[in-house]
Amino acid sequence: MLSIADPRALLQKHFGHREFLEGQEEVISSIVKGDDALVIMPTGGGKSLCYQLPALAGDGLTLVISPLIALMKDQVDSLVAKDIPAAFINSSLSQSEINQRLRAMREGELKIVYVAPERFKSPRFVEALQEIPISLFALDEAHCLSQWGHDFRPDYLRLKRALAQLGQPQVVALTATATPVVRQDIQEQLELGQHGRKSPKIFITGFARPNLTLAVSSVRGKADKLARIFDVMETYKTGIIYCSTRKNVERLYKELRAAKVRCIAYHGAFDEAKRTKAQTKFMSGEASVAIATNAFGMGIDRADLRFVIHYDIPGSVEAYYQEAGRAGRDGEPARCELLFNYADVKTQEFFLDGSNPTREVIEGSYSAIQRLCRRGPIRTAISEIATKIGNGRPNQMAVGTALRLLQRADAIERSYQGGRTYTTALVEPVKDIDDLGFDFDQLALKRQRDGEKLRQVIGYAGEAGCLHRFILNYFGDPHIKDSCGACENCSSRRNRIARPVSEDERALVRSALTAVLGVNGRFGRGRISQALAGSRSKAVLDVNLDANSAYGYLKSHGVDYAFSLLTELIQAGCLLISDDQYPVLSVTELGRDVLQGEAEAEIAMPDPGRARTKAKKKVEKRVAGRPMQAEALPHSELYDELKQWRFKKSRAGRIPAYMIFNDATLEELARFRPSNQDELLAIKGFGPAKARKLGKAVLAMIAGSVDEQESPPLEEFSYSSVEDEGWSEGEFNG
């Protein structure tokens, strides 16, 4: 049983924080009471503290199961820096090091130990744990237990057995993924609420991030996107731009470099050294903008990011909010902007197809390999195999996934040969596809669920109401207000009020209503806006939407304008959007009356020219040669001195700068200029351990610094180069 007399005192003493973040106190007091708990908090919500603080109060050990091996060392270093005895056990250690740590655990020398889930494969390891009193079993990234989570790890399935072998210790499972199906799965997989355990307490909290201004900008193409990026960088300086493909990362990186922006590029094809170099530049503050795929993020703990831009729409609201949520972790205002161009949905549809091959593609890939490998193993690229499958030219990424599935089912063997080439061999005897252990129903269900997630994030992009409300609703966070008054929709709605429409606008409204009426209740906003914009895409032509009488009517306005107009017509009550899995539009009675000229609706008409004119202006400005700089806001000389000192220390100690101090701490130090240890302890982020280790140096620097002055501009530095690469398996996944 844990006991804490004064959690706040522990918070201040060990972690240097004055207040709990939203939800932390409730979770901690429930854990201290002995409840099992399922904690759903967004990234950056402060989940770690929910088990780290109770760990200090228990007699036994807190075991933290985490799949993020790369981060364990940082996490442990940061605890040790706070005088908390902690260690990790993962594959980077030798057996004798592991034994040494197990001994320290047995002897009560450690309070918190991070363990990788694959350790539980070893019966010897579990036996060793049985000799150690475990007061809390904390399962981080608990969504890895769920096949429906975005990151399923089969090793997590061993944990149920481990819990039984360890005598059912108290459990806290933590994740940022809150969909009900994942939540349910976590409870079932861990058998919480069974074996004499009470049902776990569920906490869904902290999704509200009122300091983030959420915004969606409709853009028509690359020039618009670039213009928005420069706009945002000009005001917000420091942040991340997420792209959905490596190609987009590289393209944008070149563009921004050409404009002398201090930036780094980062994606999954970079080797370890290059990744670390880019990450260090960004974390140390040497670069202020990161252009990256979703590979960038795990462990990015730079709290002072003032913006996150999504260059392309991501595949789900979870992914969006997790990435966007990396902005403003210091609680200061930050902007999260999604650049929405309907055409980008195609990339996500490609990923969806690519990561969820149909039965036909899996079967076709297996047959093709059987034919190709008749005379033995072959050396070839996936693209080559794809041409041998049926007559439908399947998506190459889907073929790549199918081959991986076949490999996992021991039907084929593959080894990577570099470039785009693999050696592929058939495993004899050839089996019937139904005997390979695939659950095609489950695969189809997963595809359907991924499709649903994509539709939800498109829904977010088209949301006309409060974006914060949309997010809280999505995650099931009960702390919902009607509207935040702070997201772009809430603030622009205040300026853009529904009003009677002009004669010209009436024609636009009629065209949109006509388009919907022609296919009443059959299609959603996406397809109808494409038809209004005269798209020749397969999605439109296949269902004869080009025969709609309003087809192409809004061609000069573009598909995003059409999408916004449909959204406003829903808001105005002229259109109804269904509430089911595939939301479709239909015309309401008011809509019909408007169409027939028998009623006037008041509509907040979208502004057709805004994005385009702004884009043009920006690009012209750039071309005229005035370089755009994204750099730190002017700070006092002391601030810069402290930052410089932190940078050197971070380099010397090979630890990320934020682990020394975050920017908010630097700012407080520079503003309040503490002159002794007591005053130092009043600074945000300064606990006694830190004060002891670093206090003297910091106080000396403050005592010696001159008064406030504007800082000189920072110097340019050299950029890491981006390698050229071809398409390879997994190219799109970060």
Q: Which residues contribute to the site for ligand ADP (CB under 6 A)? A: 17, 19-21, 24, 41, 43-49, 301, 303, 329
Question: Residues 6 or more apart from 724 whose CB is under 8 A from it?
Answer: none
Distance CA 423, CA 494 (A): 61
- Residue closer to ligand ADP (CB basis): 191 or 332: 332
The whole-angstrom distance between residue 126's C-alpha and the CA centroid of its chain comes to 33
- Residue closer to ligand ADP (CB basis): 175 or 293: 175
Residue with tokens 């070839």: 380
Distance CA 332, CA 322 (A): 17
- Residue closer to ligand ADP (CB basis): 46 or 354: 46
Distance between start and end Cα atoms, the chain: 43
CB of 667 to ligand ADP, least distance (A): 14
Contacts 24+ apart (CB under 8 A), 148-151: 148/179, 148/181, 148/182, 148/185, 148/446, 148/449, 149/175, 149/177, 149/182, 149/185, 150/177, 150/316, 150/318, 150/319, 151/67
- Residue closer to ligand ADP (CB basis): 67 or 526: 67
- Residue closer to ligand ADP (CB basis): 41 or 172: 41
- Residue closer to ligand ADP (CB basis): 526 or 687: 687
CB of 337 to ligand ADP, least distance (A): 22
Distance CA 233, CA 189 (A): 44
CB of 26 to ligand ADP, least distance (A): 13
CB of 368 to ligand ADP, least distance (A): 43
Distance CA 70, CA 712 (A): 37
- Residue closer to ligand ADP (CB basis): 301 or 463: 301
CB of 279 to ligand ADP, least distance (A): 16
- Helix/strand/coil (H/E/C) assignment for every residue in 610-661: HHHHHHHHHHHHHHCCCCCCCCCCCCCHHHHHHHHHHHHHHHHHCCCHHHHC
CB of 181 to ligand ADP, least distance (A): 21
Question: Residues 6 or more apart from 541 whose CB is under 8 A from it?
Answer: none
Contacts 24+ apart (CB under 8 A), 416-422: 417/379, 419/381, 419/726, 419/728, 420/381, 420/382, 420/383, 420/726, 420/727, 420/728, 420/729, 421/379, 421/380, 421/381, 422/379, 422/380, 422/381, 422/382, 422/729
DSSP H helices in 463-524 = 467-475, 488-495, 503-518
657 in Cβ contact with 694 (< 8 Å) = no
- Residue closer to ligand ADP (CB basis): 14 or 618: 14
DSSP H or E segment with residue 116: none
620 in Cβ contact with 223 (< 8 Å) = no
Question: Residues 6 or more apart from 217 whose CB is under 8 A from it?
Answer: 228, 337, 338, 339, 340, 611
CB of 596 to ligand ADP, least distance (A): 54
Angle (nearest 5°) at CA 719 between 718 and 725 = 150
CB of 18 to ligand ADP, least distance (A): 7
CB of 19 to ligand ADP, least distance (A): 6
Distance CA 592, CA 613 (A): 34
- Residue closer to ligand ADP (CB basis): 564 or 662: 662
| Beta-bridge partner residues of 309 | 241, 337
- Residue closer to ligand ADP (CB basis): 11 or 611: 11
Decide the pairing of beta strands 575-577 and 61-65: unpaired
| Distances in whole angstroms, Cα of residue 465 to Cα of each of 321, 461, 491, 494 | 17, 11, 10, 11
CB of 561 to ligand ADP, least distance (A): 38
CB of 323 to ligand ADP, least distance (A): 12
CB of 476 to ligand ADP, least distance (A): 17
- Residue closer to ligand ADP (CB basis): 20 or 351: 20
Other CB atoms within 10 Å distance of the CB of residue 594? 24
Decide the pairing of beta strands 575-577 and 585-587: antiparallel
Question: Residues 6 or more apart from 671 whose CB is under 8 A from it?
Answer: none
Helices 47-57 and 24-33 pack at an angle, to 10 degrees, of: 40
584 in Cβ contact with 522 (< 8 Å) = yes
CB of 46 to ligand ADP, least distance (A): 3
330 in Cβ contact with 662 (< 8 Å) = yes
CB of 60 to ligand ADP, least distance (A): 22
Query: Which string of b and e fits 64-97 if b means at least 16 CB within 10 Å?
Result: bbbbeeebbebbbbbbebbebbbbbbbeeeeeee
- Residue closer to ligand ADP (CB basis): 68 or 543: 68
- Residue closer to ligand ADP (CB basis): 24 or 355: 24
- Residue closer to ligand ADP (CB basis): 8 or 555: 8
- Residue closer to ligand ADP (CB basis): 50 or 345: 50
- Residue closer to ligand ADP (CB basis): 115 or 233: 115
SS3 551: coil
CB of 87 to ligand ADP, least distance (A): 18
CB of 511 to ligand ADP, least distance (A): 47
